[in-house]
Structure 1
Amino acid sequence: MREATIRTDHGEAETAARIAAALRPDNTEEMSTTTDGATVETRIERQTTGGLAATVDDYVVNLAVAADLATADRDTHE
């Protein structure tokens, strides 16, 4: 089994919660997403290195979109 843990800090617990909520529907059975304060943590397990790399790549794209959307409203009001 191959595994990766990705932790990202989003500055505020509320932002991290919104990002995690946006990510969870795309999680497969081999993935889990949690929050700890302002940090989002996703653990990914896959049988092969190639499968792990592909899943991490997909996750990072989804994370970037979720983070952009979670902070878009705040950015327009600053």
Structure 2
Amino acid sequence: MSEATESSHEATLTTTHEDSRAVAAALAPDNTDAMTTSVDGEQVRTTIVREDAGGLAASVDDYLVNLTVADAVCETARDTTQP
């Protein structure tokens, strides 16, 4: 991942999930080189660095859509596999 510079913009998003590792794994294929994701307990933390604010906003928007889907899929899988 490229590091933030004076001319770049950065956002860090932290979300909590019952199965944080599965959510992070589901997001991984869609992450770009401008993103880093880590898991700490129930939290998924993703940092996005982009050269311009518009690109950052678009990347955050895409990430949030992917996150919503990943969380829903993981929740559905968990609910259908538990007795």
Structure-1-length-normalised TM-score: 0.89
Unaligned segments of structure 1, at least 5 residues: none
Tell me how large the CA RMSD over aligned residues is. Answer: 1.2
- Paired residue for 1:25? 29
Q: What CA distance in whole angstroms lies between the structure 2 residues aligned with 1:34 and 1:59?
A: 14
- Out of 10, 14, 34, the position equivalent to 1:7 is 14
Larger radius of gyration: 2
The residue correspondences of 1:1-78 to structure 2 (distance < 5 A) are: 1-11=8-18, 15-76=19-80, 77=82
| Structure 2: 5+ residue stretches without partners | 1-7
Q: When the two structures are aligned, how many residues end up with a matched partner?
A: 75
* Aligned-pair identity (%): 51
Segments of 4+ moved more than 6 angstroms? none
Normalising by the residue count of structure 2, what TM-score does the alignment of the two structures yield? Answer: 0.84
